[in-house]
Amino acid sequence: MASDLDFSPPEVPEPTFLENLLRYGLFLGAIFQLICVLAIIVPVPKSHEAEAEPSEPRSAEVTRKPKAAVLSASKRPKKEAKKKR
């Protein structure tokens, strides 16, 4: 009766090249996602170079303001229609 039972491990085929590529690609993707999440969570101290950068967006905001003024100038107020009774 004991000779009828087969306790040998099942035969598992060796993974193919594409299976290995998929496995390691998924591992690299998971590591990349963890790095991205940690970059959001962990604050980075500002350096002197980072302090010089905010002056550039301010100049960009100045150039945007005239565009907004031009857009508002091109819009003419609608004539109010008289109410008919």
pLDDT tens for each residue of the chain, 85 residues long: 556 788 888 898 999 999 999 999 999 999 999 999 999 999 888 876 655 555 555 555 555 555 555 555 566 666 777 777 7
Instruction: Please report which helix (H) or strand (E) contains residue 31, including its range.
Output: helix 17-41
42 DSSP 8-state letter? S
Provide the residue ranges of all domains of the chain, joining segments of one domain with +.
15-44
The SS3 assignment for 25 reads: helix
- Identify which of 46, 29, 45 has the alpha carbon closest to the alpha carbon of residue 37: 29
pTM above 0.85, yes or no: no
